[in-house]
Amino acid sequence: MTDQNLSPPDFSAVSIRAARVADFEQINALASLPGFRAGTLRLPFHSADQTRKWLESLGAGTTSIVAEINQQIVGHAGLHRSDGRRAHAANLGIGVHDDFTRRGIGKALLRALIDAADNWLNIKRIELTVYCDNAAAIRLYEKFGFEREGLHRDYAFKQGGFVDAVAMARLRKI
Ligand SMILES: CC(C)(COP(=O)(O)OP(=O)(O)OC[C@H]1O[C@@H](n2cnc3c(N)ncnc32)[C@H](O)[C@@H]1OP(=O)(O)O)[C@@H](O)C(=O)NCCC(=O)NCCS
């Protein structure tokens, strides 16, 4: 083990950048971690190849970003814009590496996507769905002005049972 491994990670060194297709292995490993996967709709045994194809398929309507510390990807988030008469709305997804939660990375990712939505993409409404038992994510969203709009009953199958999900949205003030 080197001295570097013994030092605690420097969280002031978190950088946010666009996701690249070349990140597919790291993003796949990150999103397959048990804590990350439990908060999402991701299926078990999702392969790196599937993640690469998904990254390759992202079009101009998707803003996909990663958080990086010392070249390790520790978080991923995305904003997917609707089209036609819902072009003012976008769906948000986010996840942080299981070993790096509660260190401000979720906030850094969300802040970056909200800035892009408000100030560059002219998105009025950011919407998302979150499992009812995901207190961490609900708290994070509330901190950034998301409000509860409704409940999806038996929304998804998770860990052997059906779970409800909350619909949340943040409407830009102006
Ligand atoms: C939800 C998630 C993105 C939060 O990321 P994070 O990097 O841990 O969040 P931050 O450290 O930036 O914390 C932001 C705020 O969220 C809230 N929060 C985060 N973890 C929390 C927890 N375990 N319990 C309660 N509140 C929590 C706090 O209000 C916190 O602000 P504070 O530190 O000022 O109190 C992360 O837990 C995660 O990736 N979970 C698995 C995937 C997932 O559920 N994604 C969301 C799908 S809808």
Length of the chain: 174
Where the chain has pLDDT below 50, the residues are 1-6
Mutation probe of ligand 1 site: the residue of 101, 131, 159 with most atoms within 8 A of C-beta: 101
**What residues flank ligand 1, with Cβ below 6 Å?**
35-36, 39-40, 94-96, 101-107, 128, 130, 134-137, 139-140, 143
Alpha carbons within 13 angstroms on the beta-carbon side of residue 105 total 29
State if pTM tops 0.85. Answer: yes
Domains in the chain, start-ordered, CATH in brackets?
3-126 (3.40.630.30)
Ligand 1 atom 25, closest CA: 136
**Which residue, 111, 158, 98, is CA-closest to 133?**
158
Point out which residues pair with 170 in neighbouring strands. Answer: 126
Cβ-in-10-Å burial (0-12, 13-18, 19+) of 32 comes to middle
Q: How far is the CA of 104 from the centre of ligand 1 (A)?
A: 8
Residue 2's pLDDT is 36
For residue 104, give the ligand 1 atom closest to its CA: 12
